[in-house]
């Protein structure tokens, strides 16, 4: 069933993309010869006006065939004004973006928004602050989350403000002129388990949601970061886990060694997810936050692409279809909340990838139409074939490289 859902997810991402092209073509009355959900032999098909709609055997996506898409034909795609061609081309990626934002909206509306408690962790000593301080208020603003506190600190940079802090059950007040050292603040996340992955070492050892990990091999654990560091550096050796659950208990487990990329270094994982509190938000708040989150994901995706090109991020982290299938399968083992989050992320990433100016991608096709508009002529067959050849060469190299990375990850973990 999980594998079927993975296939459906990939199919939906591609089909929604093609539906975007279809809607734009229909709006501009550009004849659509065929629209198929899936590939291969048709299982069901129906002719409606000039378009044959079909459901095909292989459910991994779909395709659309426009009249005059490859050769000039009367009223065909290539003879349309540039504006219409651009809209048809870019409505595919836009459909993926809309899907991504809708999925994030559902995530926030159904499950609420997570936030970090306003408990301070410090990279180094800053002013009067100590690790474990709970921010109660800054000036007259009550603090409900670390993110909220950080925004207030940024707005009041170089200003003197009054802090109300809870430290070891005592309320402390003091003033501090905010300077750049506040950027050494980060939230202290408590080592509380929210989810346990099915079939993981933690699951087999009996750990459950809401367990608080208090020690590993009898060494006290004070934060989630501290817990993860111990597990990752375990070298796959058996660990004694002490936890609180209406009493103090201990269990033993052996972390699973995995490679986060294709490097030889492996880290330990036990299959637990951190607990963060959530707040329920209404329809409009969820809608607004989905747009904000969508914009952030788009920006970060472009940043990562830039860093991959410049070498700031290892190209070994690139993944292809196998990695997408693995991530989707893993998200299902964590639960529907995490599945929705990944599904939305994949949809937005597909939007970004498809608008890149690479011939054969939608962004590259759009760029060709813009160039033709500027030079006031169609590209010759030779020019077009050269561009398409370059585009396919780039895509094929990426496909081969990502497949190599995917397969390397699989064999490194065996």
Residue 191 pLDDT > 80, yes or no? yes
Are 216 and 230 in contact by the 8 Å Cβ rule? The answer is yes
Q: Looking at domain 193-276, does it have CATH number 1.20.120.420?
A: no
Across-strand partners of 220?
215
Q: How far apart are CA 157 and CA 367, in angstroms?
A: 43
Query: Can you give the pTM of this predicted structure?
Result: 0.80
Backbone angles phi, psi at 47, to 5 degrees: -90, 120
- Which one is predicted more confidently, 71 or 224? 224
Q: Is the predicted pLDDT of residue 410 greater than 70, yes or no?
A: no
At residue 396, the pLDDT reads: 87
Q: What is the pLDDT of residues 363-388, one digit of tens each?
A: 999 999 999 999 999 888 898 889 98
Tokens describing residue 117: 């408690």
pLDDT of residue 217: 93
Question: Average per-residue pLDDT in the chain?
Answer: 87
Residue 37 has pLDDT above 90, yes or no: no
- DSSP states along 221-268: --SHHHHHHHHHTTTT--EEEEEESSSEEEEEE-PEEE-SSSSS--EE
Segment 323-335 mean pLDDT: 73
Q: Where are the domains of the chain?
A: 2-28+80-111+344-412, 120-187, 193-276
| Structure token pair of residue 265 | 């270094």
pLDDT tens figures, 110-152: 999 888 999 998 878 888 898 889 999 998 889 999 989 999 9
Q: How confident is the model at residue 235 (pLDDT cuts 50, 70, 90)?
A: confident
Residue 98: pLDDT band (50, 70, 90) is: very high
Q: What is the pLDDT of residue 3?
A: 66
Same fold? 120-187, 193-276: yes
Report the distance separating Cα 150 and Cα 121, nearest Å: 13
Q: Does the structure show a pLDDT above 90 at 90?
A: yes
Q: Specify the pLDDT at position 380.
A: 87
Place of tokens 């690790």: 131
Does residue 261 register a pLDDT over 60? no
Percent of the chain with pLDDT over 90: 44
Protein fold of 120-187: Pdz3 Domain (2.30.42)
Inform me whether the pLDDT recorded for 80 exceeds 80. yes
pLDDT of 308 > 90? The answer is no
């Amino acid at each position: 069933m999980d594998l079927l859902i993975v296939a459906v997810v990939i199919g939906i991402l591609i089909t929604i993309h093609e539906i975007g092209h279809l809607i734009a073509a229909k709006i501009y009355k550009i004849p659509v010869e065929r629209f198929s959900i899936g590939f291969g032999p048709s299982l069901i098909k129906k002719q409606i006006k000039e378009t044959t709609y079909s459901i095909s055997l292989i459910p991994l996506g779909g395709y659309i065939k426009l009249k005059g898409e490859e050769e000039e034909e009367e009223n065909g795609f290539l003879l349309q004004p540039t504006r219409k061609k651009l809209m048809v081309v870019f409505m595919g990626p836009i459909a993926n973006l809309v899907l991504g934002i809708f999925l994030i909206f559902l995530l926030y509306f159904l499950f609420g928004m997570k936030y970090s408690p306003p408990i301070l962790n410090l990279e180094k000593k800053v002013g009067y602050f100590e690790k474990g301080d709970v921010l109660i208020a800054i000036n007259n603003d009550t603090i409900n989350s670390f993110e909220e506190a950080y925004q207030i600190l940024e707005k009041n940079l170089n200003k003197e403000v009054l802090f109300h802090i809870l430290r070891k059950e005592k309320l402390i007040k003091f003033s501090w002129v905010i300077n750049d050292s506040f950027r050494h603040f980060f939230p202290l996340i408590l080592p509380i388990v929210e989810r346990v992955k099915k079939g993981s070492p933690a699951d087999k050892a009996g750990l459950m949601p809401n367990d608080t990990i208090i020690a590993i091999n009898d060494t006290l654990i004070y934060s989630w970061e501290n817990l993860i560091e111990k597990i990752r550096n375990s070298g796959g050796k058996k660990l004694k886990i002490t936890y609180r659950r209406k009493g103090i208990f201990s269990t033993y487990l052996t972390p699973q060694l995995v490679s986060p990329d294709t490097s030889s270094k492996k880290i330990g994982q036990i299959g637990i997810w951190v607990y963060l509190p959530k707040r329920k938000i209404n329809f409009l708040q969820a809608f607004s936050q989905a747009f904000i989150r969508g914009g952030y994901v788009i920006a970060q995706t472009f940043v990562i692409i830039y860093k991959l090109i410049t070498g700031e991020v290892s190209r070994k982290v690139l993944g292809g279809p196998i990695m997408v299938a693995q991530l989707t399968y893993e998200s299902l083992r964590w639960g529907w909340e995490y599945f929705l989050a990944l599904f939305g992320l994949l949809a937005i990433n597909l939007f970004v990838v498809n608008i890149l100016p690479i011939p054969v991608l939608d962004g590259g096709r759009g760029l060709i139409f813009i160039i033709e508009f500027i030079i006031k002529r169609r590209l010759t067959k030779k020019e077009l074939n050269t561009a398409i050849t370059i585009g396919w060469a780039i895509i094929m190299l990426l496909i081969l490289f990502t497949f190599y990375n995917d397969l390397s990850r699989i064999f490194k973990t065996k």
